[in-house]
């Protein structure tokens, strides 16, 4: 596997792929056509070099991914209102996605909800165990396990929704495209479908690293007072996110025994957030990749002569 540097996310009936500052959103419209929008996103770390320093760059990368993710998700959702046979969404204003203010408000609300559900709630529930457990170390471990159970339950419950199941399928097609390229295979539907739907740089793996690192860190951060303990958890979120990002980055850039071991739990967790896509979903993902990434040049540089595009994957 060769590191390509591209990444992305699934959106409603489509895929967003990002390469450097360039990103593209490819969406399957109700009439069956594929709409591709290409644009540029200048991240905070692109404007401030210090934001690329190790252990703090993960914080800004996470926020930037949320901002871009919300914007592209809004853009893809606008096509749900398009009537088959018509070439434009019913509301052209919506087709541009959320405004900067709307995106900021949406991101803030999403972060507050996530902090409440995945940070404050597990801390509160674990505090109820003090009447049965005297060990603060064991309580910290229980807090982490409660957080993990809540995450798994959340991911599993929303997967019951038809639209989310399809998002998970598009998520699988995103991973398959990147794995196809990084394995040295031409980016064809056939090769994409034969590639793995799990990838080491997935956001699901990042979330698992966050949970595991928080367990270790919170074992050593012992605060008896419940409100202060909750506050300490919130204040340490940037530290946990920064460490988790470095681990994810390490896994994505290197291929050895250590990174293989570190990546296994996250790859297993991706069984919850990815599904096998259909061939038409792979077609959408391929168009998103080709809009921002020259995969033929990448294969030639890293694998020598480019194989015929009807080549079968392993």
Instruction: Give the containing element (helix H, strand E) for 279.
Output: helix 279-292
Q: How many CB atoms lie within 10 A of CB 150?
A: 16
* Model pTM score: 0.87
pLDDT of 84 reads 55
pLDDT of 92 reads 42
* Spatial CA neighbour of 10 closest among 181, 159, 153: 159
Q: Are 25 and 11 in contact (CB under 8 A)?
A: yes
Give the relative orientation of helices 162-182 and 295-303 as an angle to the nearest 10 degrees. 40
Whole-angstrom distance, CA of residue 25 vs CA of residue 41: 12
Nearest 10 degrees: CA dihedral of 245, 147, 153, 127?
A: -170
* Spatial CA neighbour of 287 closest among 67, 38, 4, 56: 38
pLDDT of 205 reads 93
Whole-angstrom distance, CA of residue 304 vs CA of residue 6: 20
Backbone angles phi, psi at 59, to 5 degrees: -65, -50
Q: Is the dihedral of CA 207, 209, 212, 215 positive or negative?
A: negative
pLDDT of 108 reads 86
pLDDT of 110 reads 85
Whole-angstrom distance, CA of residue 240 vs CA of residue 218: 10
Per-residue pLDDT of the chain (314 residues; tens, 9 = 90+): 889 999 999 999 999 999 999 999 999 999 999 999 999 998 888 888 898 898 899 889 888 998 898 889 889 988 876 555 554 544 444 445 566 677 778 778 888 999 999 999 999 999 999 889 989 899 999 999 999 999 999 999 999 999 999 999 999 999 999 999 999 999 999 999 999 999 999 999 999 999 999 999 999 998 889 999 999 999 999 999 999 999 999 888 888 888 889 899 999 999 999 999 999 999 999 999 999 999 999 999 999 866 666 544 43
With 0-12 CB in 10 A as exposed, 13-18 as middle and 19+ as buried, what is 212? middle
pLDDT of 90 reads 44
Nearest 10 degrees: CA dihedral of 64, 69, 74, 80?
A: 170
pLDDT of 93 reads 41
Whole-angstrom distance, CA of residue 292 vs CA of residue 295: 9
* Spatial CA neighbour of 15 closest among 293, 305, 311: 293
Backbone angles phi, psi at 300, to 5 degrees: -65, -40
Whole-angstrom distance, CA of residue 40 vs CA of residue 51: 19
Write out the two tokens for 83: 């009537």
Residue 36 backbone zone (phi > 0: left; psi -120 to 50: alpha; other: beta): beta
For 262-289, the pLDDT digits (tens) are 899 999 999 999 999 999 999 999 999 9
Whole-angstrom distance, CA of residue 119 vs CA of residue 280: 38
């Amino acid at each position: 596997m060769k590191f390509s540097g591209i990444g992305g996310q699934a959106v409603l009936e489509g895929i967003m792929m990002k390469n450097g500052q360039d990103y593209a959103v490819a969406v399957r419209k109700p009439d069956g056509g594929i709409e591709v929008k290409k644009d540029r996103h200048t991240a905070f770390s692109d404007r401030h070099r210090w934001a690329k320093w190790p252990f703090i760059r993960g914080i800004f990368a996470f926020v930037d991914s949320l901002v871009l993710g919300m914007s592209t998700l809004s853009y893809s959702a606008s096509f749900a209102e398009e009537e088959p046979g018509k070439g434009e969404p019913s509301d052209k204003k919506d087709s541009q996605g959320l405004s900067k203010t709307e995106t900021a408000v949406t991101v803030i609300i999403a972060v507050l909800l996530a902090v409440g559900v995945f940070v404050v709630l597990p801390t509160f529930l674990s505090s109820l165990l003090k009447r049965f457990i005297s060990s603060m170390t064991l309580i910290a471990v229980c807090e982490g396990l409660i957080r993990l159970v809540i995450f798994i339950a959340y991911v599993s419950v929303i997967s019951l929704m038809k639209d989310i199941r399809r998002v998970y399928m598009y998520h699988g097609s995103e991973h398959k495209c990147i794995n196809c390229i990084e394995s040295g295979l031409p980016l064809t539907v056939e090769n994409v479908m034969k590639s793995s739907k799990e990838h080491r740089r997935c956001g699901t793996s990042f979330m698992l690293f966050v949970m595991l690192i928080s367990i270790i860190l919170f074992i050593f951060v012992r605060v008896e007072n419940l409100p202060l303990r909750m506050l300490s958890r919130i204040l340490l979120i940037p530290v946990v996110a920064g460490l988790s990002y470095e681990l994810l980055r390490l896994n994505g850039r290197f291929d050895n025994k250590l990174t293989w071991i570190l990546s296994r739990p996250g790859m297993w967790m991706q069984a919850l957030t990815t599904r096998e896509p259909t061939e038409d979903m792979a077609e959408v993902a391929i168009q998103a990749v080709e809009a921002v990434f020259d995969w033929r040049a990448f294969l030639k540089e890293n694998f020598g002569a480019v194989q015929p595009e009807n080549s079968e994957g392993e």
